[in-house]
Structure 1
Amino acid sequence: MVSASNHDDSDDGDGPITVLTFDLEAERYCVRAAAVASVLGVADEQSIGSATDPWNAGTVTLAGERVRVIDLPRAFTAVSRTTARIADPKLLVFTATDADDAHYGWLVDDVDATRTVRQDRLEPTRTSTRLAHVKGRLEIDGDDVIWLDERTIHD
């Protein structure tokens, strides 16, 4: 597994923090880089992509470790819409594990790079309902980026 971050950034303050940016369809997102253990290519996502529950899309084994997969493109899409699959999805594998010691993994469309951002620049989202798993939004390199809280998604 390729490590995305080796240091432990805390998101409890207003100081700088390193985030990992990624894409889901036309939207750009980020998550704390310190929470991500590795980023992997997915050779065969067909069984994951056809799971009935995108929040529990199955389990894969990587380097002897079990990873419980959340299919984010499908989980974040309205039930009435069909999500178009890209040819080479990525799997973000998190350091956190569930009660069965399986790591959490998010299936995403593409992963960009880590960026250091200032937490005091985090703004509320522009929606009428506040989603618990959304910390807010930032502008990174001219793009509007939604910051996801992996801890609430994993709970």
Structure 2
Amino acid sequence: MVSFSKRDGNDSEPDRVTVLSFGLADQRYCVRVDAVVSVLGVGDTTTLDDAEDPWNAGSTTVDGERIRVVDLQRIFGATNRTPDRADDSELLVLTETDAADLRYGWLVDDVDVTRTVSTADLEPARRSARFVRGRFEFDGQEVVWLDEHEMHR
């Protein structure tokens, strides 16, 4: 596996957190950097596109470790059609594991950079937004902060 950052996400100031931003279609998202083990390039996504369940769109093995693929574009977008994917999709391999001890991997269009942000700048999520911690603005664009623990409960 190829690690993208040596930062552990634990910043010295209590209201600061380091996040990794990524894209799905036209929307930007982020997750805590310490929730991600690595970022992997994904070649052909055809079998993932045809998976019946986007929460378990398949699995892959990297360095002897199985990773359960979660197709975020189909979860957050229209599930009744094939997603319009980027040519070079990527897999965010998370520290979270399922009941069978498989790590979760989020299939995303692209991965951006890490940023350290102040949680005081976080716009809270609506109560109906179960997987969302809130929203930040990066360079004039809204970025949705996903809660990886809620995603896989």
Q: Does 1:41 align with 2:79?
A: no
Preserved CA contact (<8 Å) 1:60 1:69: yes
TM-score between both structures, scaled by the size of structure 2: 0.90
Aligned-partner Cα distance in 2 for 1:60–1:52: 17
2:88 is matched with 88
Aligned-partner Cα distance in 2 for 1:8–1:19: 10
TM-score between both structures, scaled by the size of structure 1: 0.89
Runs of 5+ unmatched residues, structure 1? none
Aligned-partner Cα distance in 2 for 1:81–1:96: 28
CA deviations over 1:117-138 (Å, ceiling 9, x no partner): 001111024x6x6211000100
1:143 is matched with 141
Preserved CA contact (<8 Å) 1:93 1:106: yes
CA deviations over 1:2-57 (Å, ceiling 9, x no partner): 2234444369x961110000000000000000000000100222111210111110
> Is the deviation greater in 27-36 or in 134-143?
134-143
SS in structure 2 at match of 1:75 = helix
Preserved CA contact (<8 Å) 1:67 1:105: yes
Amino acid at match of 1:152: E
Preserved CA contact (<8 Å) 1:4 1:34: no
2:76 is matched with 76
Q: How many residues align?
A: 152
Runs of 5+ unmatched residues, structure 2? none
2:27 is matched with 27
Aligned-partner Cα distance in 2 for 1:93–1:3: 10
SS in structure 2 at match of 1:67 = strand
Preserved CA contact (<8 Å) 1:72 1:106: yes
CA RMSD of aligned residues (A): 1.9
